[in-house]
Amino acid sequence: MPEKVLVTGGAGYIGSHACKALARAGHIPVTFDNFSTGWRDAVRFGPMVEGDLLDRGALDAAFEKHRPDAVMHFAALSQVGEAVREPGLYWRVNVGGSLNLIEAALAAGVKRFVFSSTCATYGDQDGVVLTEDTPQAPLNAYGASKRAIEDMLADFAVSDGLESVIFRYFNVAGADPEGEVGEHHQPETHLIPLILDAVDGRRPALTINGTDYPTADGTCIRDYVHVMDLVEAHVAGLDWLRAGKGSRVFCLGTGTGFSVREVVAETRHVTNRTVPMQDGPRRPGDAVTLVCGSERARTELGWQADRSTMAQMIADAWRWHQNGHYDR
């Protein structure tokens, strides 16, 4: 049975790929986006509602008009550096917006909710491989705001029977290999697109954010997951809730970490170009190492991160970087 899914942030990087995966699985994604960071061009797979999560009236109208069966909630501010500088923004937009969304969903009788959370809720954990049971201790307002939303979902489960699948993502990378959608942030802060900008001269050089971390080569380690694999997990999460399996948290990563220098080296290899770069200071709010095991997603959801090799992620990102673009 096709489901209608209200996808907040459907015009953004991960949301747009999720809409494609939903449409491919026979569902109808209804994008709800304020286009503060998303792109109209990225909404290609279903209807679009322009609206803001802080506007409860706009949310109520969207539920009334489209009558979705479930919600996938991607819309959020998501830059660690900005969150350190302006925490109020993160508490207001991420937490306040999510509260409006949950209450509007419940008022419309929608009780199935897939939520985009983050490994930034863990903070620095001394290099251990993280699991769903690792205690959360966010280092910045971005991670703290996402953890607060996780807590909120648990409270509304008790009060109203809201059922949620929470995905804690690690570093999402790559692009739709068919090139319909891709990664386009303005400003760009993510490592792989910034390396590619340096490769093709759109920026003079990549700055490495800190080279004195306690890792083998002195740079931070992250667990990168292909956006197409990530969104497939969301479709499986929707099925999980539809099957009545109840609320659950899943980490989505590969269990393998790459340092910044290793990502640069792999990009050099995949593109066969040099990467102009310079060493820079640490970026406030960065954890040293974030790597997660995805045992639970694999065994319970049947999730396989088939595309999530570093070479594949860079190759797909590079193809989009060269050929794809959005106009607002």
CB of 317 closer than 8 Å to CB of 175:
yes
At its nearest, how many Å lie between ligand UFG and the CB of residue 264?
9
CB of 271 closer than 8 Å to CB of 316:
no
Q: Which is nearer to ligand UFG, 16 or 118 (CB)?
A: 118
Q: Which is nearer to ligand UFG, 47 or 255 (CB)?
A: 255
At its nearest, how many Å lie between ligand UFG and the CB of residue 170?
7
Q: Which is nearer to ligand UFG, 207 or 309 (CB)?
A: 207
Q: Give the per-residue SS3 of 49-113.
A: EECCCCCHHHHHHHHHHHCCCEEEECCCCCCHHHHHHCHHHHHHHHHHHHHHHHHHHHHCCCCEE
At its nearest, how many Å lie between ligand UFG and the CB of residue 315?
18
DSSP state of 273: S
Instruction: List the structure tokens of 234.
Output: 């969301």
- Residue of 90, 142, 169, 213 with catalytic role: 142
Instruction: Name the residue whose CB lies closest to ligand UFG.
Output: 220
At its nearest, how many Å lie between ligand UFG and the CB of residue 107?
29
Q: Which is nearer to ligand UFG, 220 or 314 (CB)?
A: 220
Catalytic, 142? Answer: yes
Pairing between β-strand 258-259 and β-strand 70-73 as defined by DSSP bridges: unpaired
Q: Give Cβ neighbours of residue 202 (< 8 Å, ≥ 6 apart).
A: none
What is the spatial distance between Cα 206 and Cα 215, in angstroms, rounded to a whole number?
20
Q: Which residues contribute to the site for ligand UFG (CB under 6 A)?
A: 78, 80, 118-120, 142, 171, 189-191, 194, 206-209, 220, 222, 260, 283, 286-287, 290
Q: Which is nearer to ligand UFG, 48 or 219 (CB)?
A: 219
**DSSP, residue by residue, 198-244:** HHTTSSS-EEEE-S-SSSTTSS-EE-EEEHHHHHHHHHHHHHHHHTT
At its nearest, how many Å lie between ligand UFG and the CB of residue 235?
21
**Active-site positions?**
142
